[in-house]
Chain A
Amino acid sequence: MNIFLVLFKKEIKELLTRQLLISIAAMLFIFAVIGKSVGSHSRSSGVRNSVVLLDLDRSPLSKRIAGAMRKAKAEILPSGAANIAAALADPQFAGENSFILLPAGLEKDVAGQKASRVEYYSRFRRDASGLGPALAAGRVRKLSTAVSGAVSAWALERRLPGLSADLLKDPAPAREFAVIDGRMEQVPVAQVVAFMQSQSYFFPMAVFFIVMLSAQMIMTSVASEKENKTLETLLSSPVDRRLLVLSKLAASTSIAAALSLAYMLGMRSFMSGINSIAGAGPAAAASEALARLGLVMTPSGYLLTGLSVLFCILCAISMAFILGILAEDVKSVQTLLTPLMMPLMLAYLLPIFIDLSTANFGIKFLLYAIPFTHAFMAPQNILMGNIQQVLYGIAYQAAVFAAFVLLAARLFSGDALLTLRIKGFKFGGGGR
């Protein structure tokens, strides 16, 4: 046989361990879970296309605008309120996120060659996550295009004398407002969305890497002490075994804490930068509007986020410690990370697709049972004022951490350390 094939076959046999297949199966499982819950979630909450329309003009033009919006596949819910505040407060529309206001005198303004101002209000839930905010921004864009088209067409049909090209180009400039928790600010929705996404995508991603790094660090450390038998030597020494566990945890935690501190500092400058990118409008004005909406981190907010991340790392480290005890050697660390990867991936990916504030109980329970979720969601919750939820999250993480440390200490004081192991059987090989 070709020598290359001989070598190739050997490499495949070396790589294709049972653990690897289990990891692959685990990944498939996670994506299936995410796909399923995203599907059921969007069916139940209905990726909304409804818009509350507050028509204060009540003119042929405003009827025409409503028609254009319907053509743009929006489900129009007419509101009889006298002003936007009343419409927003209307319990009938408590579940609605998009409101459009056609101001009184709209038709007269256009007839008089004045650009009319249509107002778009996007309401965000305190604990909104998932694709909701981004969809809201997209909806505003789509609807404002439809509205402009309708107004231009109306003006052209009237053959208004001296119709200016400027007016035709943008006959109904959008005035966008964001509504969060009763506060209302004029700010491009795209800007708010950019900010929220920085919370729900970029922040968890960084935490994800820190957690993986520290977990791998301690697992490799335990597994290599096992492989080198330096652990056996330490275990036969008159040092309290709990001290052995504690010193390892403490050392990894200090390094991980330094990592997260560096990260928090990095995030600060990242966050101050994020307000100036994305979206329209002058950056300074927009970031002031975001601040007035409460979308700004205070020092205590950073502290709380840091604390949540620290406990997230502690949980990961204590779990990784146990997995390290089970590891046969350093080589198996990689695949033994799978049980840690799975909840981590779920906690990271699900909130990107699903709005937790409206998710069903099962999904919520699954996510909040994962201690990492609490850290991922911390900045969002802090910004939205859900301090209590962050504190509960930290308490839960602390409890999980304590449970795993106790388990680790137990495993450390018995035979398990030397006899328990998850072996990387080769396919076809097997046996001792």
Chain B
Amino acid sequence: MNAVELRGLTKKYKDFEAISGLDLSVGAGEIFALVGPNGVGKSTTLKMIATILTPTAGTISVFGLDTVRDAHRVRELISYLPEEAGAYKNLTGREYLRFMAMVFLKDHARAEAATAFGEELCGLKDRLKDKIKTYSKGMARKLLLARAVMIRPKLAILDEPTSGLDIVNGYEIRKTIKQLAAEGTTFIISSHNMAEIEFLSGRIAVINKGKLLACDTPAALRVKFSTEDLEEVFIALAR
């Protein structure tokens, strides 16, 4: 069974069609990347997979469950990180992780274990006892990323996960994602960083104006567009 299946997915905001008839499938354990220019509907697609927007037409299934009809059961399998998300500013980092772990796992013992894992993942160490409002942008992003994966979801949906992170932190996050994928988590990410995508993802879907233009492995795409550089593929498709 595929982790995620999009069939004829369409989303309209009032009269504006942001996504038009998208078909995709993502295998279990895969790291799948959505790329495309600004405003082509990547975030919209991820929000629909994360059950917080409903498709205007078409269907999405997550491990065989429909995101509209079985929304509640889908939510038990997924973890979603919005782009440019914030956290509760008056909580400390540790309190935030503990709170989110309880919300997602609803079980004290499991939440404690997840919190401990999250504390380790975010690498904030002593700063975890400080309020989030004192964090820098990158620190907050690391905390949120740790939050998103600490519960070891079956499917993690990450919208531009490493934006705002420095080179070292970005590198460490990518390593973590790879490791968790090896342990069985499926990832769908969107990103504007081609090097990151090249490093991380098994397959890439390039979308433009709400439509799928290409979907393949980075290597296959390079061959197809006869270039050494993934960025050139992107530029060719974005035109």
Judge whether B76 is part of the interface by a CB distance below 8 angstroms. Answer: yes
Chain B residues with CB below 8 A from A238, complex form: 72, 75-76, 104, 106
Q: Which residues of A273-297 are within 8 A (CB) of B?
A: none
A239 in contact with B53 (CB, 8 Å): no
Judge whether A60 is part of the interface by a CB distance below 8 angstroms. Answer: no
Take A238-B104, A419-B13 as given contacts and tell me if A232 and B76 are in contact as well, using a CB distance cutoff of 8 Å: no
Report the bound CA distance from A418 to B100 in whole Å. 21
Smallest CB separation, B174 vs chain A (Å): 22
Q: Which residues of A87-139 are within 8 A (CB) of B?
A: none
A415 in contact with B54 (CB, 8 Å): yes
Report the bound CA distance from A229 to B81 in whole Å. 9
Take A418-B47, A419-B13 as given contacts and tell me if A236 and B86 are in contact as well, using a CB distance cutoff of 8 Å: no
Judge whether A228 is part of the interface by a CB distance below 8 angstroms. Answer: yes
Chain A residues with CB below 8 A from B162, complex form: none
Chain A residues with CB below 8 A from B106, complex form: 238
Closest to B78 in A: A236
A233 in contact with B75 (CB, 8 Å): no
Q: Mark A147-186, 1 if CB is under 8 A from B, else 0.
A: 0000000000000000000000000000000000000000
Judge whether B85 is part of the interface by a CB distance below 8 angstroms. Answer: yes
B80 in contact with A232 (CB, 8 Å): yes
Judge whether A234 is part of the interface by a CB distance below 8 angstroms. Answer: yes
Report the bound CA distance from A237 to B85 in whole Å. 15
Judge whether A59 is part of the interface by a CB distance below 8 angstroms. Answer: no
Report the bound CA distance from A418 to B103 in whole Å. 21
Chain A residues with CB below 8 A from B88, complex form: 228, 230
Q: B53, B85, B157: which contacts A418 (Cβ < 8 A)?
A: B53
Judge whether B216 is part of the interface by a CB distance below 8 angstroms. Answer: no
Smallest CB separation, B5 vs chain A (Å): 19
Smallest CB separation, A40 vs chain B (Å): 43
Report the bound CA distance from A230 to B85 in whole Å. 7
A228 in contact with B76 (CB, 8 Å): no
A236 in contact with B87 (CB, 8 Å): no
B87 in contact with A237 (CB, 8 Å): no
Report the bound CA distance from A414 to B75 in whole Å. 15
B54 in contact with A414 (CB, 8 Å): yes
Judge whether B84 is part of the interface by a CB distance below 8 angstroms. Answer: yes
A236 in contact with B72 (CB, 8 Å): no
B104 in contact with A232 (CB, 8 Å): no
Q: B50, B53, B78, B83: which contacts A419 (Cβ < 8 A)?
A: B53
Report the bound CA distance from A238 to B104 in whole Å. 6
Chain A residues with CB below 8 A from B116, complex form: none
Q: A227, A232, A234, A417: which contacts B103 (Cβ < 8 A)?
A: A234
Judge whether B92 is part of the interface by a CB distance below 8 angstroms. Answer: no
Q: Mark B32-67, 1 if CB is under 8 A from A, else 0.
A: 000000000000000100111110000000000000
Q: Which residues of A206-259 are within 8 A (CB) of B?
A: 227-230, 232-240
Report the bound CA distance from A237 to B83 in whole Å. 16
Q: Which residues of B68-107 are within 8 A (CB) of A?
A: 72, 75-76, 78-88, 100, 103-104, 106
Report the bound CA distance from A227 to B87 in whole Å. 10
Could you list which residues of chain B lie within 8 angstroms of chain A, going by C-beta atoms? 13, 47, 50-54, 72, 75-76, 78-88, 100, 103-104, 106, 157
Closest A-B pairs by Cβ, 6 of them: A228-B86, A236-B80, A229-B85, A238-B75, A229-B82, A238-B76
| Cross-chain pairs A/B with CB under 8 angstroms, 15 sampled | A228-B85, A228-B88, A229-B86, A232-B50, A232-B82, A233-B80, A233-B85, A235-B51, A236-B50, A236-B157, A237-B103, A237-B104, A238-B75, A415-B53, A418-B47
Query: Given A229-B82, A229-B85, A235-B51, 6 other A-B contacts at CB below 8 A?
Result: A229-B83, A230-B88, A236-B75, A238-B76, A414-B54, A418-B53
